[in-house]
Structure 1
Amino acid sequence: MERYKSKWFAVCVLGISAYLLSSKLSVNNTVDVESLRLLSNTFVEEKLQNHSHEFDVAQITEIKKKKERVKNKTNTKKKKKKVTEGVFVAIGYAIANSVIVECNESLVVIDTTESIASASRIREDLLTSFPRLQQKKVKYVVYTHYHPDHTFGTKGWVDDERNPPVVIAHPQTTKELERILSLTSTITQVRAQRQFGTILKKLKDSIEPHAFSHLDAHGGDRSSHYGHECGSDHTFDYAAAGAAQDQDEQLRLQQVFQNDSSIFVNSGIGPFLVFEGPFDRSMFYPTLILNQTIEILDLDGTLQFIFYRNIEYMYTYVVVVIVCNFGEGVTFEFHHAPGETIDQIFIYLPEKRVLLPADNVYRAFPNIYAIRGSPTRPAREWVKSIDSMRALSPFPRYLVPHHTQPVYGEEAIYDVLTSYRDGIAFVHDQTIRFVNLGYVPDDIVVLVRQSMPERLLSHPFLQEFYGTIDWSVRAIFQAYLGWFSGDPVDLYPLSKQQQGTYTFVSQRRIRGCFFVFVFFFLSVNHCYLVFSIRLTKMVKSPNVILETAQDSLLNHEKRDDCQWALQLSDALLFLSKPANEMSKEDLILAMTETEVSKALDIKIKALQCLASYMTSANGRNYYLTSAYELLHQKHADSEYVSERDREWVSHVVPLEQLFQMLPVRFKANEVKMFNSSMCFHFTDMREFYMLTIRDGVVEVCLNFVCLCEQKKKKKFM
């Protein structure tokens, strides 16, 4: 009974808190011209000349982003750095960095890049720069995860393949290595070459410059970010990369790119993918697995004590923290940290206070989905992994990512870790929030980006040089709900070939209407808003499209005819919805009430038509229920899910889960620039929770497992 009362009390308190936090706060959305002058550079001065009045926040944000990218001196130009005594990092030799830790009698190499050639160059340059390392043998190689840019260069550190170094990795790493080299390896390789621009690197002398100035500029931004020298001051010359309006300008642009083609070719988190032939890769599988069966190791005749502790995550395999020193005088903490991969580990050297976050932190927006083809990365677990880094004690003084530059100083590192986890958490939580409100991926992409706090949008470690907000939103949606958007129009979308066929047939039927371009705006993951506006502009009248849809529906001979009518009518209906993202020019083409009513009628009948073709009960029911909802303008769940049902769920769900549900229900777009914390101590249940809000991001600390709880622990015990 006491537990029941506590849970009921928690539900009431959380409801009141959510109501208070959802109140709108006033935000100043304008900045005077003098503020802009503080950002003085060529780009900003041009803005000032063209605008004599106030600028909104979006304009200021874009200017700050460009200034950040242009003036950023951190880069991945080839270099070797001594981070602190006994810790070295090689940057710019390949996509990934390689870290070398000096122990009493040996070296520990952490990640070996994607290439034997690049690993060999790192080894040669490092030993040349630091001669004392030449006397020490590489006894251990650590893989932070399975990605090829961290594992395929190991042979460069091996002198005798009959007696190779001990290779240390998570238990899942071997399985993941085998996976990427088997079933889908062929197409993944092809798409990876596209993603990393490998062929662009090879064709650098013959590549034509971009025809669009903003693309040239953006390429320059990225290249400046990674340190390819674009000029004497290492900044990109926007004037030289402007639009090519005449032949002389085109020649100047071509000269810029041919002199340094890397201006627009890089991998986003490093300079380029190193691949010097089919024999430039090696595979040394892990020989020392980090799992809970290890208690004592006998390495080189010396007993090493290793201990572990379990942490709960969504994955079934064990999550461990292992501490060992290999008998070499340096303590290594191996923490399992699912994030960019499920086998990811981060490494902490407590005596040196050096944190190696692997690929869970780098100076670019996290790649929650890789367009080369990968499972969606677990965003919630990624956040938890970074929280584990934030909870380290003593707190790190050196952060050495395996892509991009190190970060120095406790305050700077804390800011990077907190902002990075907030960026992932915000995109995840707000995506799920809009999912539960019934939005489809195309809408959610816009809504999440519009509501993202300025603190995160402008943070140097969250610029979209690698991952993007849009791809992350779509990947998170797919991870939870699969490929189907929830809109019945996407159940059986027409193929591109079918769309082309219907397009040209429509063009023949309606003379003077440019339907030939419809093909380019319809796809499986279409953006109906853009399609609707452009389609209507092309034909000058929604009635033309409505007549085409009506004709396809009335004379249907197969399911595809009904689908074509559904796609056309559904696209037009987007013009009848509130569209604050439309420009005034677009709103001129808004539909009349009569046209909206006709489009709605066609859509309902198209859904019923598609249902008649369905053998699957699931599909037939979905089409007919969707038609019912449109006809009666209400969702089906309103008749079957009552407040009493929701109250029942609140009683049967564990208290911890109730708190975990709060972040995905937080109205971030209504509460910006707001920071606060609330603590909940349930004395009868001996449970403590802390709710922290930072600019639209909600962090829930459960039972003293995160940093902010530890700081408050004594106060509430």
Structure 2
Amino acid sequence: MKFNKHIRNMDHDNLRKPATSKTSLINKGFYQQMNWGKLKTEQNLASQNVVVNVPLPVIYRNNTSQTVWDLNRYSFLLQEQTPDTVHPKLWEQGKLNLHSGLFKVTENIYQVRGFDLANISVVKGKTGWIVIDCLTSQETAAAALQLLKEYFGSFPISAIIFSHSHTDHYGGILGILQSEKTVKVYAPKDFMKSVIQENITAGVAMSRRSAYMYGEPLPRDNKGQIDDGIGKTVSTGRVTLIRNVQEILPNDHEPYVEKIIDGMKIQFQLTPNTEAPAEMNMYFPSEKSLCIAENCTATLHNIYTLRGAQVRDPVAWAAYLQQAIDLFGDSLTSIFGVHNWPRFGNKYCIDYMEKQRDMYQYINDQTLRLINQGYTLEEVGRMIKLPESLSDEWYNSSFYGTVNHNSKAVYQKYMGWYNGNPIDLNKLLPEESARKYVEYMGGEDTVLEKAKKSYQDGEYQWVAEVTKQVIFSDPNNKKAKLLCADALEQLGYIAESGPWRNEYLMGAQELRFGKTLIPISTITNEVLDVIPLKDILYLLSIRVDGIKAGNFDYKINFVIPDRKEKAATEIKRGIFRYLKSELINGAAVTVTMWKDRLYELVTTNNLINHSITIIQGDKNKWESFLAALDKIDPNFNIMTPKE
């Protein structure tokens, strides 16, 4: 393989740039360090046991020409040359995640890969398929089901299992349950609680930040989005969910919960607070195969995910991987996950689990070592490196999570955001400090002239940091935005992590062209349909402006006829609180609305719509309550100060 030649353009305009000579040199260095033998192992694993090859599938929204999934956009990855605008290891991982179609794991276990960010796995039961995970979208899940039917013929769905509580594993369920609505659905303990906490309560902010992390709005080419390590990106179809999920509860007497589902014995190992708050591995003794959920992948995963979430527990993560080895290691002959590709052979599978286990434990322990020496969050992120005994494995590479931001997560977990220096205890707001920095440094023009020289010297991180000061001092300074965008772009070109690359390139794109609308939401009507009314009303609680409502003190009844639900609430001392699931006497106002109006109320800025709301009692108090609700901003600023 050779790197492409290019003509370098140093003008700071709104065009995407080629790699600079410094960037090209850095990526050539990464190329020369690659372990081609380890890559060959992954290439063999990713491509073997294909039953039906589906090259570069494209999936459309129902009865439209709008795509929700398009692997064909990544066909450029099939070229032989490695471009100098992509980290060479990420380029190769991107190729590995192009393998798509139906794959065999064991005689009775199969996977559909390449139809979404995640995999859908099926286990042949006595009367039908046991489905493990349902992808992100109704449309992609339906396409995967259609592929299964075309190959195996008509074979019903006998059960569904959610491995964990992230959207890319449950969102497509209505694409699987197209007609068989009575199928039992299993999930780990606290599944629904975790879905609400992670994907609903902070869903607006997470969706906005997910656009940066997964890079869906970016072009698909050598200068754009390549891969996310665990798969290409999230599909943009309809996210769905169902009620009546049966949660697997722990067994006080055994380290796993054994169930017979459609004639298939399954041993569920609950692994809470690992890759997700609610997660579980599944062992199939008759197949000698372990579904490792997302606790092992073909990459270092996230202790902290860049879209935003609670920090995960690397010690628990490592401990549950050891428990899986202890429970199933003597007999297993294959491991399959809910991303990437399976692994085979008892010794190899154990080695894989051990090295992933040690990677998370190592990051935790080394961060604590440095914490106790007085190093801060930013310092530990740069200081910790994996030893060769761990970093040498392709599957421990930073294609998704990175050692840098994961070690910072461990710092946050134990020490919080404060570094102990009182200067940083109550810092100036970014806009205020930016104006002072720029003034101290001689003004905007002086800063930018110096930054241009630093850019030519390849100091991209410094250029991004210093031009940010100009942007936050003067958001209309186009020259600063374009220079910052060019610096971020070069940082993206040398990032091994797909999400890091996406973050940098999304920042550059928005500085050049403005913000891009979020392509997907985790809070759909189908999801709200199965969320308890108490949790839906909580979406209003977190929109109340506490100062505006600080002196309010009255109760509001809600009646939702088509959900057959009622609720009593109160607004008092700036807090909107759910009281109970029945109406109460003495409420200042009772509002009756159909569920669609309720969903509109909690997810949009359309607060006043009397035509479909019946108001009984003090109308002014209801309108005062609505007036105290902040507007939702799903496209809030990231690269520039909040408007």
TM-score (norm 2): 0.55
Give 3-state SS (helix, strand or coil) of 1:358's partner. coil
Aligned twin of 2:126: 104
- Determine if contact 1:323/1:333 at 8 Å carries over to the other structure: yes
Residue deviations 1:167-220 (CA, integer Å, cap 9, x gap): 1012210101122343211111111122111112xx44xx7x53xxxxxxxxxx
- Determine if contact 1:142/1:169 at 8 Å carries over to the other structure: yes
Q: Structure 1 CA distance, aligned partners of 2:441 and 2:392?
A: 46
Q: Structure 2 CA distance, aligned partners of 1:390 and 1:435?
A: 30
Structure 2 residue runs without a partner (length 5+): 4-27, 47-95, 455-460, 467-643
- Determine if contact 2:125/2:158 at 8 Å carries over to the other structure: no
Counterpart check, 1:383 vs 2:383: no
Choose the corresponding residue for 1:402, options 338, 341, 358: 338
- The letter for the 2-side match of 1:176 is S
Give 3-state SS (helix, strand or coil) of 1:387's partner. helix
Aligned twin of 1:566: none
Shift in Å, 1:42: 5.4
Q: Structure 1 CA distance, aligned partners of 2:201 and 2:263?
A: 43
- Summarize the alignment of residues 393-432 of structure 1 with structure 2, pairs less than 5 Å apart: 393=328, 394-432=330-368
Larger Rg belongs to: 1
Counterpart check, 1:459 vs 2:477: no
Q: Structure 1 CA distance, aligned partners of 2:422 and 2:196?
A: 38
Shift in Å, 1:70: 8.8
Shift in Å, 1:106: 2.1
Count of aligned pairs: 383
Structure 1 residue runs without a partner (length 5+): 1-40, 44-57, 211-260, 293-307, 312-319, 522-529, 536-717
Aligned twin of 2:172: 153
Aligned twin of 2:423: 489
Give 3-state SS (helix, strand or coil) of 1:494's partner. coil
Q: Structure 1 CA distance, aligned partners of 2:198 and 2:364?
A: 26
Q: Structure 1 CA distance, aligned partners of 2:361 and 2:144?
A: 36
CA RMSD of aligned residues (A): 3.2
Shift in Å, 1:164: 2.9
> For residues 325 and 498 of structure 1, do their structure 2 counterparts lie closer, same or farther at Cα, with a shift above 3 Å needed?
same
Shift in Å, 1:62: 6.2
Residue deviations 1:460-519 (CA, integer Å, cap 9, x gap): 11111100001101111001111112233321233322232212322349x997598799
Shift in Å, 1:349: 0.4
Q: Structure 2 CA distance, aligned partners of 1:397 and 1:150?
A: 25
> For residues 361 and 506 of structure 1, do their structure 2 counterparts lie closer, same or farther at Cα, with a shift above 3 Å needed?
same
- Determine if contact 2:194/2:277 at 8 Å carries over to the other structure: no
Counterpart check, 1:507 vs 2:441: yes
- The letter for the 2-side match of 1:422 is D
- The letter for the 1-side match of 2:297 is Y
Q: Structure 2 CA distance, aligned partners of 1:463 and 1:401?
A: 17
Q: Structure 2 CA distance, aligned partners of 1:483 and 1:286?
A: 39
- Determine if contact 2:314/2:361 at 8 Å carries over to the other structure: yes
Q: Structure 1 CA distance, aligned partners of 2:228 and 2:445?
A: 45
Q: Tell which deviates more after alignment, 462-471 or 171-180.
A: 171-180
- Determine if contact 2:132/2:161 at 8 Å carries over to the other structure: yes
Give 3-state SS (helix, strand or coil) of 1:359's partner. coil
Aligned twin of 2:34: 64
Residue deviations 1:296-324 (CA, integer Å, cap 9, x gap): xxxxxxxxxxxx3458xxxxxxxx62101
- Determine if contact 2:129/2:159 at 8 Å carries over to the other structure: yes
The higher relative CO (CA closer than 8 Å, separation ≥ 6) is in: 2
- The letter for the 1-side match of 2:239 is R
Counterpart check, 1:138 vs 2:72: no
Residue deviations 1:578-601 (CA, integer Å, cap 9, x gap): xxxxxxxxxxxxxxxxxxxxxxxx
> For residues 499 and 401 of structure 1, do their structure 2 counterparts lie closer, same or farther at Cα, with a shift above 3 Å needed?
same
Aligned twin of 1:288: 246
Q: Structure 2 CA distance, aligned partners of 1:341 and 1:438?
A: 30
Choose the corresponding residue for 1:92, options 114, 117, 132: 114
Higher helix share: 1
Give 3-state SS (helix, strand or coil) of 1:492's partner. coil
> For residues 107 and 61 of structure 1, do their structure 2 counterparts lie closer, same or farther at Cα, with a shift above 3 Å needed?
same
Q: Percent identity?
A: 21
- Determine if contact 2:294/2:338 at 8 Å carries over to the other structure: yes
Q: Structure 1 CA distance, aligned partners of 2:434 and 2:187?
A: 50
Choose the corresponding residue for 1:180, options 168, 190, 198: 198
Q: Structure 2 CA distance, aligned partners of 1:531 and 1:82?
A: 49
Aligned twin of 2:290: 355
- The letter for the 1-side match of 2:288 is R
Aligned twin of 1:272: 233
Aligned twin of 1:198: 216
Residue deviations 1:376-429 (CA, integer Å, cap 9, x gap): 111100001111121134431111011001001111101110110111111110
> For residues 71 and 383 of structure 1, do their structure 2 counterparts lie closer, same or farther at Cα, with a shift above 3 Å needed?
closer
- The letter for the 2-side match of 1:480 is Y
- The letter for the 2-side match of 1:487 is N
